[in-house]
Amino acid sequence: MMGGEPVLRLENIRKRYGKNEVLKGIDLSVFHHEVIALIGASGSGKSTLLKCVNLLENIDDGQIFLSGEDISDPRVDEDKIRGKIGIVFQNYNLFPHITVLDNVTLASKKVLKIPKAQAEEKGMELLSRIGIAQKAKVYPDQLSGGQQQRVALVRAIASNPEILLLDEITSALDPQLVGEVLDLVRELKEAQTTILMATHEMSFAKSVADEIVFLENGVVAEKGPPSQIFDHPEKQSTKDFLARLKA
Amino acid sequence: MPASKIKSYGDVSRVELDRRAFRKKQSKKSALISCVSLIAFASAIYLLLSNSTGWEKVRIAFFSPEYFLDALPVVFEGLLKNLQILIFAASGVAVLATLIAVVRTSRSAVLFPLRVLASVYTDIFRGLPMIIILYLIGFGIPGLRIFGRIDAGLLGTIAIIIGYSAYVAEVIRAGIEAIHPSQRAAARSLGLSHSQTMRIIILPQAIRKVVPALMNDFVSMQKDVGLVSVLGVIDAVRSAQIMVAKTYNFTPYIAAGLLFILLSLPFIRLTDWYTAKLRKREQMEGAV
Ligand SMILES: Nc1ncnc2c1ncn2[C@@H]1O[C@H](COP(=O)(O)OP(=O)(O)O)[C@@H](O)[C@H]1O
Ligand SMILES: [Mg+2]
C-alpha cells in the first residue's frame, strides 16, 4: 500500500440514468504516478465512471476527492476542477475547425491565460515530442486517426493535469494505428503521469497498469495487480470475462 | 493508384480512346436535344401569347419601353432603401437568431423560462405570414404611443428581424444539435467555461454546417424586404406603385422586379457555387 493522500479517491459512487442504475457504489483510489486500468464488458459503466470523475455527469450519491478536495461538492468551481483533470475519449476529441497547434494551445490561452507566444512554444514542443511538429498548422482531418489521438493526448497533458483519464482511446482506430497511441501512453507513464484508463487492450493493460479494476454491472467485481487478475483471478465472473475475450 | 490520379495524356490505351470518343458523341447528342427542345418550348409560348386576344394590351400595360426608362431611376433609388433595410435586418437576424438558438439548446435549469419563451416565439413567428407581422409591428407599435413617431423603415426592419429570426434560429439550432456531444465534453474537460465552449467550439462548427441553408434564407429575405412597402416606406415597390397610380401603366412593377432579381443574382450564384463546393468536398471525404 502506498502512503499519502491519493490523487483521486472515489467513495461509494452511485449513478442512475432514469431507472437504470449504472454505477452501484464504486470505491477506488489512484495514487501518484499510478496507472489503473478499468476493464469490463461493454455497458458495465466504465465511460460513465470517467465522466463522473470529470464532472461531465452529476453523481447521485458518494464523494469524489481530487488531492483531498471534495470535487463532488456543488460549491466547487467546476471549470477550474476540469482544468486539473485531463480526459481523452474514443473519438471526436480534436476540434475540427481550428488547427492542430490551436487545439493543443487552446486551454493554455483561454483557461490558463498564458501569453500566445509562450503557449505556442510549449505546444510546438509537445507536437515535436510526438513527431508531428510539421503538421502544426494543418487541420485535424489531415491527420491519421492515430496521430489525432496522440495530439488529443498531448493536448490533455499540456495544462499539467493532476490525473489523466482515458476512455478506450484506441477502440475507434484501425489495428495498425493502435501501437503508436499505446506507445505514447507508455511514455506518459514513464514520465510519471497519473492515469486512470478504461481499455479493452488486455495485453497493454497487463504490461502497463499497476492495478486492474474489473467492473461488472456497475460494481467493482475484482481488483488487484495484473498478474493476479489475468493469471489467477479469484472471482468466477472475472474468469468468465477473460475467457470470453480469449474465445 | 486511383484512376483520377492519372494525368498523362500521352499513352492512353485503345479501349480508353474508344470510350472517350463514344462519350463525346453522347454529350454532343444530348446538347443538341436540349437546344431543340428549348427552341420548341420558347416558340410554343411565343405563339400562345401573341395569338391570345389580350396580348397587345398586356404588352403595352406591362412592357412599355418609355415607361420602363422613366421608372428605372426612381425605382432604383427606392431599391437603395431596400438594400439599407436588408443590411440592418440581416445583421439583426444574425444576432437575435443566434441568441434564440443558444437558449433553445441550453440545458441549464436557470434558463428554463427563457427556453419556453424562445420555443413559443419560434412556433408563433414561423407560422405567421410576413405581411401580418409587418402590419402588427408597423401599425401596432406606433398605436401604443410610447415612443413618439417612429420611422416606417425602422418598423419594417424590426418586423423582418422578428419574422426571420424565428426561421434562422431553427436552422442554427439544427447545426448546434448536429455537433457530436464529445466536442462539448472535450471542450469542457479542458476547463473552458460554458459560454467559451459555445462561442469558440460549438457555434463556429454549427454555423459552418448550415451555411447553405442560411444563404438560402438570405436570398428569400432579399425579396421580402420589398414587403415593407405596405407600411408606406418609399422603397422600390412603393416607388413603382406611386408611378403606376399616376399613369395606370404597370411597367414600373416590371422594372422593380427586374432590379430585385439583379440584386439577388450574385448571391444566388454564390450560394450555388458554395453548395457545389461543399458537396464535392463531402464526396471526396466519402472516398477516403
Ligand atoms: N447518457 C446516457 N443516458 C442514458 N443511459 C446511459 C447514458 N450513458 C450511458 N448509459 C447507460 O449506462 C450503461 C453504462 O454505459 P457506459 O458507461 O458507456 O459503459 P461502458 O463504457 O463500460 O461500455 C449502459 O447501460 C448505457 O446504456
Ligand atoms: Mg465506454
d(CA A58, CA B197): 19
Calculate how far, in angstroms, residue A216's C-alpha sits from the geometric centre of ligand 1. Answer: 13
The answer to whether the CB atoms of B189 and A95 lie below 8 A apart is no
User: To which H or E segment does residue A64 belong?
Assistant: strand A61-66
Residues 6 or more apart from A33 whose CB is under 8 A from it? A192, A193, A194
Residue A246 has pLDDT above 80, yes or no: no
CB A150 within 8 A of CB A130: yes
d(CA B151, CA A50): 58
Q: Atom of ligand 1 at shortest distance to CA of A44?
A: 22
pLDDT at position A3: 59
Q: Measuring from atom 13 of ligand 1, which residue has the nearest CA?
A: A43
Cβ count near B43 (within 10 Å) = 10
pLDDT at position B54: 86
Q: How does pLDDT run across A172-189, given as a tens digit for each residue?
A: 999 999 999 999 999 999
Output phi, psi for B7, to 5 deg.
-115, -10
Residue B265, chain A, CB below 8 Å: the answer is no
pTM for the full predicted model: 0.84
Residues 203 to 222 of B: which have CB under 8 A from any A CB?
204-205, 208
Looking at the complex, report in whole angstroms how far the Cα of residue A245 sits from the nearest Cα belonging to chain B. Answer: 28
The answer to whether the CB atoms of B186 and A96 lie below 8 A apart is no
Calculate how far, in angstroms, residue B189's C-alpha sits from the geometric centre of ligand 1. Answer: 19
CB A212 within 8 A of CB A39: yes
pLDDT at position B286: 53
A48 close to ligand 1 (CB < 6 Angstrom) = yes
Residues 6 or more apart from B101 whose CB is under 8 A from it? B169, B170, B172, B173, B175, B176, B206
Query: In chain B, what residues touch A94 (CB-CB under 8 Å)?
Result: 186
Looking at the complex, report in whole angstroms how far the Cα of residue B121 sits from the nearest Cα belonging to chain A. Answer: 31
The answer to whether the CB atoms of B205 and A54 lie below 8 A apart is no
Beta partners for A86? A164
Q: Atom of ligand 1 at shortest distance to CA of A49?
A: 17
pLDDT at position A159: 83
Residue B200, chain A, CB below 8 Å: the answer is yes
Residue B180, chain A, CB below 8 Å: the answer is yes
Give the rounded percent of residues in chain A with a pLDDT score beyond 90: 89
Q: Which ligand is nearest to the CA of A49?
A: 1
This complex has an ipTM of: 0.88
Q: Atom of ligand 1 at shortest distance to CA of A168?
A: 21
DSSP label at residue B10: S
d(CA A230, CA A37): 12
Mean pLDDT of chain A: 93
Closest listed residue to residue B201, CA positions, set A85, A81, A107: A107
The answer to whether the CB atoms of A92 and B190 lie below 8 A apart is no
The answer to whether the CB atoms of B188 and A86 lie below 8 A apart is no
pLDDT at position A1: 46
Sign of CA dihedral B200, B202, B208, B214: negative
- Ligand 1 pocket, mutate which of A47, A87, A90, A167 (most atoms under 8 A from CB): A47
d(CA A229, CA B233): 81
For A17, the 3-state DSSP assignment is strand
d(CA B223, CA B82): 9
Q: SS3 breakdown of chain B: % helix, strand, coil, rounded to 5? A: 85, 0, 15
Residues 6 or more apart from A163 whose CB is under 8 A from it? A7, A8, A30, A66, A84, A85, A86, A194, A195, A196
Burial letters for B3-26: b for 16+ Cβ neighbours within 10 Å, e otherwise? Answer: eeeeeeeeeeeeeeeeeeeeeeee
d(CA B137, CA B157): 10
Q: Where are the domains of chain A?
A: 94-161
Looking at the complex, report in whole angstroms how far the Cα of residue B281 sits from the nearest Cα belonging to chain A. Answer: 12
Query: In chain B, what residues touch A97 (CB-CB under 8 Å)?
Result: 204-205, 208
Could you tell me the CA-to-CA distances from B156 to A225, B86, B159 in Å, in that order?
73, 10, 5
Mutate to test the interface with B, among A52, A82, A112 (most CBs of B within 10 A): A82
Give the rounded percent of residues in chain A with a pLDDT score beyond 70: 98
CB B192 within 8 A of CB A109: no
User: To which H or E segment does residue B159 belong?
Assistant: helix B152-177
Q: Which domains does chain B have, with CATH numbers?
A: 74-276 (1.10.3720.10)
Q: Which ligand is nearest to the CA of A45?
A: 1
Beta partners for A21? A16
Residue A149 has pLDDT above 80, yes or no: yes
pLDDT (tens place) for every residue of chain B, 288 residues total:
444 444 555 678 889 889 999 999 999 999 999 999 999 999 999 898 888 888 888 888 899 999 999 999 999 999 999 999 999 999 999 999 999 999 999 888 888 999 999 999 999 999 999 999 999 999 998 888 888 888 999 999 999 999 999 999 999 999 999 999 999 999 999 999 999 999 999 999 999 999 999 999 999 999 999 999 999 999 999 999 999 999 999 999 999 999 999 999 999 999 999 988 888 887 776 544
pLDDT at position B288: 41
Average of per-residue pLDDT across A79-102: 93
